[in-house]
């Protein structure tokens, strides 16, 4: 986790494919999801992955209406295209990663 979380404006201005991962180090669901998240992200090395420590009073999580952890938000050019919440399924994760890396037709 980085020392300073990005602002919503910084997130919205990101270019390319990004996955935001909201959670907490002590969260059992977050810990359980880590192996699937890391395994799938290795298949998509060009995707930016930003882990955000969430909790009470954390504005970025509230601005994305995060209520449960982990919450993965799949973004392309600063726009949310897909969201996975709580129990992270490897296949759904792969579909989200493919979605944000797909070329527009």
Is 37 among the domain residues?
A: yes
Is 35 among the domain residues?
A: yes
Domain with 40 in it = 22-101
Q: Does 105 score more than 60 pLDDT? A: no
Is 14 among the domain residues?
A: no
Is 4 among the domain residues?
A: no
Is 1 among the domain residues?
A: no
pLDDT mean over 5-17: 95
Condensed to tens digits (0 to 9), the pLDDT of residues 14-61 reads: 999 999 999 999 999 999 999 999 999 999 999 999 999 999 889 999
Q: Does 68 score more than 50 pLDDT? A: yes
Domain count, the chain: 1
Is 32 among the domain residues?
A: yes
| pTM reported for the whole predicted model | 0.92
58-to-8, 21, 25, 77 alpha-carbon distances in Å: 11, 14, 15, 23
Phi, psi of 42 (to 5 degrees): -65, -25
The CATH code of the domain that includes 67 is 3.40.30.10
């Amino acid at each position: 986790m980085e020392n300073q979380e990005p602002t919503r404006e910084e997130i919205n201005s990101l270019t390319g494919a990004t996955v935001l991962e909201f959670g907490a180090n002590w969260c059992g669901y977050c810990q359980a999801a880590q192996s699937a998240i890391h395994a799938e992200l290795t298949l998509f090395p060009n995707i930016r992955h930003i882990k955000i420590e969430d909790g009470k009073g954390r504005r970025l999580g509230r601005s994305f209406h995060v209520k449960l952890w982990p919450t993965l938000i799949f973004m392309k050019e600063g726009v949310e295209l897909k969201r996975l919440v709580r129990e992270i399924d490897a296949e759904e994760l792969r579909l989200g990663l493919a979605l944000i890396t797909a070329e527009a037709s």
